[in-house]
Structure 1
Amino acid sequence: MKHYHYIFAGSGLAALLTAYRMATSGRFADKQILLIDPDTKTVNDRTWCFWEEGAGEWDSILYRSWNTALFANDDFRTELDFEDYRYKMVRGADFYAFIKAALDAHPNITMLQEMVLSFKDLGTDVLVKTKNTEYTCDKLFNSIYCPTLPALQKKYPVLQQHFIGWHIKTEQPVFNPAVPVFMDFSIPQKGNTRFMYVLPFSETEAIVEYTLFSKDLLPQQEYEAAIQEYIANLGVTHYEILDKEKGSIPMTSYKFWEVNSPNIMHIGSAGGWTKASTGYTFKNANRFSQQLAGFLVSDKSFTEFYKPNRFWFYDLLLLDILAKHNEKGSAIFSAMFRKGKAAPVFKFLDEETSLWGDLKVIWSCPKGLFIKALLGRLF
Structure 2
Amino acid sequence: MTILIAGGGLSGLSLAAHLVARPEPLGPIIVVDDGRRPLATAGWASWSVEPGLLDEAVSRTFDRFHVHAAGRSRVVGLGRYKYRFVRGDDLAAAVGKAAARRGDVVFRRGRITDIRQAGQGAEAIVDGEVSRADWIFDSVHRPHPARVDGWLIFRGWHVRTADPAFDSAVPTFFDFRTAQNRGASFVYVLPRGPREALVEYTSFAPPRSRGVAYPQEQRTALREYLTTVLGVREYAVTREESASLPLSASAVDRRRGSILAIGTKAGLVKASTGYAFQRIQADSAAIARSLACRGHPFDLPTPKARHLLFDATLLDVVARDPAQLERVFAALFDRSSAEPVLRFLDEESSLPQEGKLFARLPPSLYSAVRRRPR
**Counterpart-to-counterpart distance in 2, 1:145 and 1:214:** 25
> Does 2:188 correspond to 1:193?
no
**Please, which of 9, 12, 20 is the counterpart of residue 12 of structure 1?**
9
* CA separation of 1:259 and 1:70: change in aligned 2, threshold 3 A: closer
Contact 1:192 1:329 (8 Å CA) reproduced: no
The equivalent residue for 1:66 is 62
The equivalent residue for 2:122 is 126
Task: After TM superposition, list the pairs within 5 Å mapping 1:42-57 onto structure 2.
Answer: 43-53=39-49, 55-57=51-53
**Please, which of 166, 173, 178 is the counterpart of residue 175 of structure 1?**
166
Amino acid at match of 2:96: K
**Counterpart-to-counterpart distance in 1, 2:372 and 2:57:** 45
Report the Cα offset of residue 313 of structure 1.
2.8
Contact 1:262 1:302 (8 Å CA) reproduced: no
The equivalent residue for 1:83 is 79
The equivalent residue for 1:294 is 289
TM-score (norm 1): 0.89
Secondary structure of the residue aligned to 1:247 is strand
The equivalent residue for 2:259 is 264
Report the Cα offset of residue 143 of structure 1.
0.9
Amino acid at match of 2:84: K
Per-residue CA deviations over 1:274-315 (Å, capped at 9, x if unaligned) read 212111011111111111110112336555534221323322
**Counterpart-to-counterpart distance in 2, 1:324 and 1:33:** 46
Task: After TM superposition, list the pairs within 5 Å mapping 1:97-246 onto structure 2.
Answer: 97-144=93-140, 146-147=142-143, 149-150=145-146, 153=147, 157-190=148-181, 192-215=183-206, 216=209, 217-233=212-228, 234-246=230-242
Per-residue CA deviations over 1:206-255 (Å, capped at 9, x if unaligned) read 11111111133322222111111111112222112222222223221232
TM-score (norm 2): 0.91
Instruction: Work out the number of aligned pairs and report it.
Output: 368
Report the Cα offset of residue 35 of structure 1.
1.1
Contact 2:77 2:338 (8 Å CA) reproduced: yes
**Counterpart-to-counterpart distance in 1, 2:319 and 2:297:** 31
Which has the higher mean CA deviation after the structures are superposed, 231-240 or 298-307? 298-307
The equivalent residue for 2:353 is 357
Amino acid at match of 1:160: W
**Counterpart-to-counterpart distance in 2, 1:77 and 1:340:** 12
Contact 2:56 2:94 (8 Å CA) reproduced: no
Contact 2:313 2:368 (8 Å CA) reproduced: no
**Please, which of 306, 312, 327 is the counterpart of residue 308 of structure 2?**
312
* CA separation of 1:56 and 1:11: change in aligned 2, threshold 3 A: closer
**Please, which of 39, 43, 48 is the counterpart of residue 35 of structure 2?**
39
5+ long unaligned stretches in structure 2: none
**Counterpart-to-counterpart distance in 1, 2:11 and 2:144:** 20
Amino acid at match of 1:322: V
Amino acid at match of 2:356: K
The equivalent residue for 2:365 is 369
Report the Cα offset of residue 17 of structure 1.
1.1
Secondary structure of the residue aligned to 1:179 is coil
Which has the higher mean CA deviation after the structures are superposed, 235-244 or 342-351? 235-244
Per-residue CA deviations over 1:166-196 (Å, capped at 9, x if unaligned) read 1111112221212211100121222511000
